[in-house]
Amino acid sequence: MTTTLASTRTKVLQRQGAAVALVVMVAVAWLVFPRFGSLDNVRDLALQGSFLAVIAIGMTFVIITGGIDLSVGSLYALGGVLAAYGSQWGFFTALLLPLAVCGLIGVINGLLIARTSMAPFIVTLASLLFARGLLLVITDEGATTYQIAPDSAFVELGRGTVLGFGYPVFIALVLALLGGLLLNRTNFGQNVFATGGAEQSAVLMGVPVARTKVLVYAMSGTLSGLAGALTAAYLQSGVTVIGVGTELDAISVVVIGGTLLTGGAGTVLGTMIGVGLRTVIQNIINQIGTLDSNFQSVVSGVFLLIVVVLQRILRR
């Protein structure tokens, strides 16, 4: 009986640990900070988390295959600048230009990793530098900031609301739903798990490992570009300084959400919970007021370390 209870407790911690932590943190913040539960604050929290969520969904697929994508932060910034630059030719150019360019860089990442067996860390680090360099070339080393006309239809994509919640929130939720279905209800999702679980065995079983890797990196690049476009629409400009360190934020929320860095296991729902946890931590620190904003990184780092250690212990 005792063994059964211990086993059940371990499974709950493995699968729902981040969700339990999120519920506890929200409950404490709700009681301690009167403004935390206000509708305006909830809307702000949802909007703040939506941009990171879009990037993290793509990162979830990459990490489940056993890879890593360090280029997402630079692609996020590049996507925003390209969207602002393309907005002068209309809504569809503003939206499709960042998706096409960032998606192409993702495809190149995937091809290099899958066809040459180069380490994802090296390939995507090179893409990080390439995308950041391309961003500086387009903006004349940051001296030029492309603005989006206030009457542009593209602005509505970032600032439009339904029931007070911004469009980016609903876009992130729809992408999470589609990502979850893709991961758990399709052959492609099975191939993603098989590639990350045991790559050599997957090859022997006829799983298209190379094609799967190319697709997940293409997805990661495209979603990073989309997040950049949404941010540009919200800010009404292509900001060059965003995205620094975003790749680490994305990796941390994916791991906090239960996806194994070694690959082969993970969920999109867990990633969304990880995004929620990080956003709540940031909001609590902001509401305390006396703490430096950099303390958020300290808390997130400690939390990530605890999660990784727990994952290792629970797998024994």
Written in H, E and C, the secondary structure of the chain is: CHHHHHHHHHHHHHHHHHHHHHHHHHHHHHHHCHHHHCHHHHHHHHHHHHHHHHHHHHHHHHHHCCCCCCCHHHHHHHHHHHHHHHHHHCHHHHHHHHHHHHHHHHHHHHHHHHHHCCCHHHHHHHHHHHHHHHHHHHCCCCCCCCECCCCCHHHHHHHCEECCEEHHHHHHHHHHHHHHHHHHHCHHHHHHHHHHHCHHHHHHCCCCHHHHHHHHHHHHHHHHHHHHHHHHHHHCECCCCCCCCHHHHHHHHHHHCCCCCCCCCCCHHHHHHHHHHHHHHHHHHHHHCCCCCCHHHHHHHHHHHHHHHHHHHHCC
Averaged pLDDT, 291-312: 69
Expressed as residue numbers, the domain containing 179 is 39-315
Residues 241-272 pLDDT 10s: 888 889 999 998 998 888 988 889 999 999 99
Amino acid letter for position 227: A
Residue 68 included in any domain? yes
Tokens of 295: 């303390």
Confidence check: pLDDT of 48 > 80: yes
pLDDT of residue 4: 54
Q: Which pLDDT value is given to residue 9?
A: 56
Per-residue pLDDT band for 299 (boundaries 50, 70, 90) equals confident
Task: Establish if 9 belongs to a structural domain.
Answer: no
pLDDT digits (tens, 9 = 90+) for 181-211: 999 999 999 999 999 988 889 999 889 999 9
End-to-end CA distance of the chain: 20
pLDDT at 28 over 80: yes
pLDDT score, position 14 = 56
Which pLDDT score is estimated for 287? Answer: 79
pLDDT higher than threshold 80 for residue 146: yes
Quote the percentage of the chain above a pLDDT of 70: 89
pLDDT band at 285 (very low <50, low <70, confident <90, very high): confident
Q: The tokens of 32 are what?
A: 């301690």
Structure confidence at residue 315 (pLDDT): 57
Structure-model confidence comparison of residues 290 and 251, the more confident one: 251
CA distance 206 to 199: 11
141 pLDDT band, cuts 50/70/90, is confident
Amino acid 308: pLDDT? 66
CATH number for 173: 1.10.3470
Other beta carbons within 10 angstroms of residue 227's beta carbon come to 35
In the predicted model, what is the mean pLDDT of the chain?
Answer: 88
Q: Of 56-65, 249-258, 286-295, which range is least confident?
A: 286-295
What was the pLDDT predicted at 291?
64
Report the candidate in 155, 215, 167 with the shortest Cα–Cα distance to residue 46. Answer: 167
What's the number of CA atoms in the CB half-sphere (13 Å) around residue 77?
A: 26
**Is residue 6 in some structural domain?**
no
12, part of any domain: no
Confidence (pTM): 0.90
Is the residue at 5 inside a domain? no
pLDDT at res. 20: 80
Is 25 contained in some domain?
no
Residue 18 is assigned to a structural domain of this protein: no
The pLDDT, as a whole number, for residue 56 is 97
Question: How many structural domains are present in the chain?
Answer: 1
- Name residue, tokens 């990171």: 52
Could you tell me if residue 7 is inside a domain?
Answer: no
Q: Which residues pair with 166 in a beta bridge?
A: 161
Confidence band, pLDDT 50/70/90 cuts, at residue 128: very high
